[in-house]
Amino acid sequence: MTGRRMFRTAILGAGGFLGAYLTRELLASDHEVLAVTRPGGSEWRLAGLACATAAADLADIDALRSLLREFRPQSIVNLAWSGVANTHHDDPAQTGNVAMTVQLVALAAELGLICFVGVGSQAEYGPQNRILRESDELRPTTHYGRAKADAGREAARLCADSGMRFAWLRVFSTYGAMDNGKWLIPMAISRLLHGEPVPLTGCEQGWSFLHARDTATAIRTVVEHDEAEGVFNLGHPEAPPLKETLIRLRDLVDPHGILDFGRLPYGPNQVMLLQPDIHRLHRLGWQPKVDLDAGLRETVRWFTDRPAPHGLPLGLQQT
């Protein structure tokens, strides 16, 4: 594109839900993209995309070094993380992700990259039950949240030492087509499509949901913006009652479907308000574009055409 600055970006974890959306967004914005996926993992979300792809074990730094040297990216976006599912959030093995992040930042610095973008989580804040700002004290209550916080701190330190631009995006709840069937929205869609009740907590929480397409545009904005540095909350600034969102979803799938509110107890560290302050991203020119009703309709259509596996939800999943 005439007059437009060209970008070469490597995406680690490109085969995942957010990775696939980001790959599409960067390609649509004329980035040259290297989509790095997990060996033996599924690449169906990337089918038909015109970009370089490679499977790589991120623990094999020598192999990854060779791969990146050949592609010569300017920036890395790291979406790879082991143990994202709620069932692994209290696994002490989460600390392995911190070591992996440190190795990746060191490699990026060694290769002379200009930018490292890491993806954190709202779980770093813990259940503070108020609008969350990047400057708030971190109070994680899970190994997952602590590992994300530690990884972000170490990555920031290493990038500062090497003079590489660093951005850390604390992702709040996301949704959209191609999502993993274990999360709340696809789980509810699947049960409703099968005529089964959806067991839930009372769902009085105020809960922010951001469409994955908006998530991808935010990450692209950070990659492209030379002044985008430090920690950014990445979520929707509105947090309607979760019960209201699920009723809107139910009515799109089957107005007669059963949402069994109150069947499940709240967990001991249940977040009752998940709402980010996103002024730092606003100042870069980003804001959400996908209306919740339109996003839910699109998601329902996709899962209706491609039913996902379903099972008993154990509670609200957190990113």
Query: Over the stretch 64-98, which tens digit does the pLDDT of each residue have?
Result: 999 999 999 999 999 999 998 888 899 999 999 99
For position 316, what pLDDT does the model report?
37
Domain 178-208+237-276+290-305 fold: UDP-galactose 4-epimerase; domain 1 (3.90.25)
- DSSP for 55-104, written as a single string: E--TT-HHHHHHHHHHH--SEEEE---S--SGGGTT-GGGHHHHHHHHHH
Residue 117: strand pairing partners: 77, 167
| Separation between Cα atoms, residue 103 and residue 109, nearest integer Å | 10
Judged on CB neighbours under 10 Å (0-12, 13-18, 19+), 64 is: buried
For position 4, what pLDDT does the model report?
65
Q: In the chain, where are the structural domains located? A: 8-173+210-234, 178-208+237-276+290-305
| Separation between Cα atoms, residue 64 and residue 70, nearest integer Å | 10
pTM confidence score: 0.94
State the DSSP code for 129. Answer: -
Q: Which two tokens stand for residue 246?
A: 């699920």
Among candidates 32, 28, 38, which has minimal Cα distance to 9? 32
Positions in the chain whose pLDDT score sits under 70: 1-4, 307-319
Q: Which two tokens stand for residue 191?
A: 């049960």
Residue 168: strand pairing partners: 118, 231
77, 92 Cβ separation under 8 angstroms: no
Residue 165: strand pairing partners: 115
**289-295, long-range: CB within 8 Å, 24+ apart, which pairs?**
289/213, 289/214, 289/217, 290/211, 290/213, 290/214, 292/209, 292/236, 292/240, 292/245, 292/248, 293/248, 295/175, 295/176, 295/209, 295/211
Q: Calculate the dihedral angle through the C-alpha atoms of 22, 28, 32, 33, rounding to the nearest 10 degrees.
A: 20
How distant, in Å, are the alpha carbons of 84, 114, 181 from that of 97? 11, 22, 23
Q: 9 — phi, psi (to 5°)?
A: -130, 130
Domain 8-173+210-234 fold: Rossmann fold (3.40.50)
For position 181, what pLDDT does the model report?
87
Which residues does 132 contact at the CB level (< 8 Å), separation at least 6? Answer: 122, 125, 233, 275, 276, 277
For position 204, what pLDDT does the model report?
97
| Separation between Cα atoms, residue 172 and residue 151, nearest integer Å | 17
Judged on CB neighbours under 10 Å (0-12, 13-18, 19+), 129 is: middle
